[in-house]
Structure formats: structure tokens, C-alpha cells
Amino acid sequence: MNLLIKSAKIIDRHSPFHLKTQDILIENGKITEISSTIKNINNIKEIELENLHISVGWFDTSVSFGEPGFEERENLPNGLNVAAKSGFTAVAVNPNTYPVIDNKSAVEFLINKAKGNIVNLYPIANLTQQASGQEIAELFDMSNSGAIAFSDYNKSISNANLMKIALLYAQNFDGLVMSFPQNNSLSNNGVANEGAMSTKLGLKGIPTVAEELQIARDLFLLEYTGGKLHIPTISTEKSVKLIAEAKKKGLNVTCSVSAHHLFLNDSELNEFDTNYKVKPPLREKTDLNALKKGIVNGTIDMITSDHNPIDIENKKVEFENAKNGTIGMESFFGAINKVLPLEKTIDCITNSPRMRFKIENPTIAKGEIANITLFNPDTEYVFGEENIFSTSKNSAFIGKQLKGKVYGIFANNKFVIN
């Protein structure tokens, strides 16, 4: 496909055109020219949009789609369509399906189902068989089939010896082990952050130490075993400090934070709206501020939507009985762009996650394959149901003032524009 993008400000610190406003010519899916002015001599499709910015295509490292098994929440075709409309050219899909993704056939099913799509899908496979936390799954076989990391999504590994063995074994093929940061005995079926708000509302609390103790354990194990560890969706001030200290020691650890933990705090629970019931729970303002500082200073490596569609039957119930999760791709850029510097935001959803998950990292330069996201970072709007493309509508951002509009993406020689 051929495309001429006019007057776009390039946000890509690896590009020689970083922070410059240029025309970009794409021919047969490849960038063939970048210049201050390019004449459209062949009368190809031209894109000229208000305050147009472009970056390398965004990569979301934690997305749930439901298929197979929970298609009423979301299926793969529509989920990938939502990703494209939300600015993502690649997504890492969680294994919280039925059956779970704990063998090579399940990994290959996801990859084959997504073939030919404008958005690249990368499976995260289960770390343990049946996501039970008891026996390690077929990690090497699943890695060979295309799994980019191993995690029992939103389920912590209580057995420290199992985590130790996983970190040791994965080194044989440079595998990335992920560990959800929650100590189950301390969380004890809580439903909200343990603090003033949970006490006021009479909700069973999950203390911050439940997250921090698990992280401390896993960092001790990593120091003992070596290997690579990724801690997804941290949520507390102390967690940021623990990971910063581990990095200073030279441990091979990375972490992510969700958009909703950067934008929302536990004061949102005042009306018992189950869309705010997420895992980890929304924390206090001091934690939120520490997470934002962790992004800016580089302690936190990446930001994810942690997109998790939940059907209405599992959300429109009492708060204690509702399933955890919020959709987040549609609101993602508008939320994080509202609270973080633009260049840092873009780096946390392009270069940093691709490097960690060993995915080819494109750049915006002549001769490169075009993999780009088009957006306007200055558009302000109130997020509403009309902005939701997902099958499930469980968004924690409805009614929130956001900043930043996605225009579309170009990837795999295809173009989608909103």
C-alpha cells in the first residue's frame, strides 16, 4: 500500500527526525522518503490531519480477549480491531482463556487466528499447567511455538520453589518469567485497597504489603538464580522502591504499570461502581504519584492498558462478587497522556516493551518497514460509551476528562484510520 503522510511531527528518539515535522512517503509498506516537503507526483492517497504526530506503532504488553472460551466478553477479530482503533500495532495476549494457554497447540491457535491482521498478536503462555500454580508448563515447547513470556495472568505463584525452578529453567532458552505481585495469604480474598476508603465502605482490604512482600521474595529468588523476571502491573510506592534497588544491584528485572493505576485512586470506589474493581486494587494518591515518578525516572519500564473485558453478568453484581477488570485500550492514550510527558509516554509503549519481550523494534527512517501510530496529543474530551469499541463495556474511564486522540495506524502494509 502507498501513502503520503503530510506535516507530521515525529516522536521517535531512535529516528534522525525525532521532534521534527516532516512529510513521510510510504510505498509498498516501506518508508521510502522523509522530507520537509514531498510532492505527490503519483497522486497516491494523502493524509493531512490537524496537529498530526506520529510514532513507532504502540505495543500493549497486557491484553485479554477471552477467546477461546469467553467469546461473550470479546473475540480475537474484534479485540484486534479495538487494538488498531486504539493505536496499537502489536499486543501481547494473556492466557486467561478456557482452555488456558499451557501447551504449544494453544499458542499456535492464537497465532494462526490472528494471521493477516494489521495488528501483530504475541501470546503470553501460562507459567504453570492449567494455571494451577502446581507444575511448570511446557515452557520450551511453547517458546518455540511463539510464546514471548510466561505468566499465570493475575494469579500469583505461592510456591517459592516453583518460581525458583522456573527462573532457572527459562535461562536455557532466554525465556522471560512473569510473576504477578500478590501474596495470597495477605490479600486473603480482599476486594479493595486496605486503607481509609475500604474501612469507610466496609470492604475487605488488600494491604500494600501483600504486593511488596511478593515482589521482595521474587527479587531474592532472582538474585539467587539469575535469569530474567518481569513484574506486571505494580501499584504501590514501596514496590517502586524495591524494583529501583534491585536494578541498582544489577538484577535483570523489569516492571509495568497499568494506565488506570496512573490515573485513578481508591476514592473512585465511593459509589461501589464495579468498573473500578481491578487487580491489583486502585491504591491511594501517594502510590499513584510514586508510580508516575517511577515512570519518569525509568524505574518502571512500560505502561499497559491491562485491558480485561468482563461481561455484564459478572460486573452488574455486588462489589464483593464482581470479577476484577476494566477495558482499557480505547481510553489508554488519553489517560496516560493526561498525566505524563509525551516523549516518556511514547517510549514506554514502543521501545522499552519491545526490547524486553525481544520483539523487533522499528524506527521511523528511510528504508524501514512502516510501523506507525498517528495521533493528536492535544485533543481533550470526556470519555463516554460512544468511544468504546469492545464487546464488553466495563470501562473505569467513563466520564473522565482525557487528553489525546488516536487517528489510526499503519502496519503490515495496511492502514486503519478512525
The pLDDT-based confidence of 368 (bands split at 50, 70, 90) is very high
Listed residue (329, 345, 359, 339) closest to 402, CA to CA: 339
Q: Residue range 166-192: average pLDDT?
A: 97
Distance CA 385, CA 275 (A): 13
Grid cell digits, residue 174: 532466554
Q: Is the peptide bond before 207 cis (omega within 30 degrees of 0)?
A: no
Tell me, yes or no, whether 94 and 71 share the same domain.
yes
Alpha helix segments (H runs only) across 100-236? 104-113, 139-145, 160-170, 184-187, 196-201, 208-225
Per annotation, catalytic residue among 102, 152, 287, 306: 306
pLDDT at 380: 97
- Decide which of 322, 338, 356 is a domain's last residue: 356
> Cell 499465570 identifies what position?
152
Give φ, ψ of 52 to 5 degrees: -70, 125
Distance CA 176, CA 406 (A): 31
- Decide which of 331, 356, 381 is a domain's last residue: 356
Residue 139: partners with Cβ closer than 8 Å, 6 or more residues away: 125, 127, 147, 150, 166, 169, 170, 173, 175
Tell me, yes or no, whether 320 and 264 share the same domain.
yes
Tell me, yes or no, whether 293 and 390 share the same domain.
no
pLDDT at 383: 98
Sign, Cα dihedral of 162, 168, 171, 176: positive
Residue 385: which domain range? 3-53+365-417
Please compute, for residue 218, the number of CA atoms within 13 A of its CA located in the half-sphere on the CB side. Answer: 32
pLDDT at 164: 98
Listed residue (340, 351, 337) closest to 302, CA to CA: 351
The pLDDT-based confidence of 220 (bands split at 50, 70, 90) is very high
Distance CA 222, CA 210 (A): 19
The β-bridge relationship of strands 120-125 and 88-93 is parallel
pLDDT tens per residue across span 318-348: 999 999 999 999 999 999 999 999 999 999 9
Grid cell digits, residue 320: 464483593
Distance between start and end Cα atoms, the chain: 18
Tell me, yes or no, whether 15 and 100 share the same domain.
no
Tell me, yes or no, whether 153 and 28 share the same domain.
no
List the CATH number of the domain containing 129: 3.20.20.140
pLDDT tens per residue across span 231-247: 999 999 999 999 999 99
Residues β-bridged to residue 63: 93, 307
Identity of the residue numbered 322 = A
Residues β-bridged to residue 395: 327
pLDDT tens per residue across span 59-111: 999 999 999 999 999 999 999 999 999 999 999 999 999 999 999 999 999 99
Tell me, yes or no, whether 411 and 337 share the same domain.
no
Residue 42: partners with Cβ closer than 8 Å, 6 or more residues away: 2
**Percentage of the chain modeled with pLDDT above 90:** 100
Tell me, yes or no, whether 212 and 236 share the same domain.
yes
The pLDDT-based confidence of 285 (bands split at 50, 70, 90) is very high
Listed residue (156, 161, 262) closest to 213, CA to CA: 156
Tell me, yes or no, whether 23 and 125 share the same domain.
no
Angle CA 203–206–207, to nearest 5 = 125
pLDDT at 271: 95
Q: Provide the number of structural domains found in the chain.
A: 2
Decide if 306 is catalytic: yes
Tell me, yes or no, whether 373 and 225 share the same domain.
no
C-alpha distances (whole Å) from 238 to each of 11, 129, 243, 291 are 32, 31, 9, 10
- Does the pTM surpass 0.85? The reply is yes
Tell me, yes or no, whether 349 and 200 share the same domain.
yes
Mean pLDDT, the chain, as a whole number? 97
Q: What is the DSSP letter of 130?
A: G
pLDDT tens per residue across span 51-67: 999 999 999 999 999 99
Tell me, yes or no, whether 17 and 89 share the same domain.
no
- Decide which of 305, 328, 356 is a domain's last residue: 356
Is 356 in a helix, a strand, or coil? Answer: helix
CA-CA-CA-CA dihedral for 93, 389, 260, 319, to nearest 10? -100
The pLDDT-based confidence of 130 (bands split at 50, 70, 90) is very high
Integer-rounded Cα radius of gyration of the chain = 21
List the CATH number of the domain containing 25: 2.30.40.10
Distance CA 268, CA 50 (A): 34
Tell me, yes or no, whether 249 and 391 share the same domain.
no
Phi-psi region of 3 (alpha: psi -120 to 50; beta: other; left: phi over 0): beta
pLDDT tens per residue across span 255-264: 999 999 999 9
